[in-house]
């Protein structure tokens, strides 16, 4: 997997989002990744916390009607190989099924059994 830093712009009252920039993280640029393209956030961006999953939000005050009103900066793990995609998908399905089991007070694993017993593939 490769880690990418994403800068998103939001519009209106946060009802619209647009990916503004995506920066791959490498060993060469990890310490210099915060550059002039990064917005001024409410907090000082800590690259270690960002890579650990913290999301930083920012506001843009003023501007024209079609200018972004704010946004956020986050780090995402992007699968690069077939096996990484399958692993990421299975992890997402497992997490969602566990959440469903908890919400409906079912035995853990019940939703996963139902997903695969009703699958059309």
Distance CA 34, CA 50 (A): 11
Determine phi and psi for 94, rounding to 5 degrees: -60, -45
The sign of the torsion formed by the CA atoms of 103, 104, 107, 110 equals negative
13-61 pLDDT, tens per residue?
667 899 998 989 888 887 777 665 666 666 678 888 988 999 988 888 7
Kindly state the tokens that stand for 71. 């946004």
Share of the chain above pLDDT 90, in %: 21
Mean pLDDT along residues 61-65: 74
- At residue 111, the pLDDT reads 81
CA distances for 33 relative to 23, 26, 114, angstroms: 8, 9, 44
Between residues 109 and 86, which one has the greater pLDDT? Answer: 86
**Which tokens go with 69?**
């009103």
How much is the mean pLDDT over the chain? Answer: 83
Residue 43: what pLDDT?
Answer: 67
Map tokens 């699958």 to a residue.
119
pTM above 0.75, yes or no: no
The predicted pLDDT at position 31 comes to 72
For 65, the 3-state DSSP assignment is coil
């Amino acid at each position: 997997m490769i880690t990418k830093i994403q800068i998103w712009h939001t519009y209106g009252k946060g009802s619209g989002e647009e990916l503004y920039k995506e920066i791959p993280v490498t060993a060469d640029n990890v310490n210099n990744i915060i550059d002039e393209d990064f917005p001024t956030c409410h907090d000082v961006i800590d690259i270690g916390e960002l890579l650990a999953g913290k999301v930083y939000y920012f506001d843009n005050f003023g501007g024209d009607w079609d200018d972004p009103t704010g946004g956020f900066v986050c780090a995402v793990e992007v699968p690069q190989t077939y096996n990484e995609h399958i692993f990421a998908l299975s992890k997402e399905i497992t997490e969602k099924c566990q959440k469903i089991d908890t919400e409906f007070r079912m035995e853990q694993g019940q939703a996963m059994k139902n997903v695969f017993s009703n699958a059309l593939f």
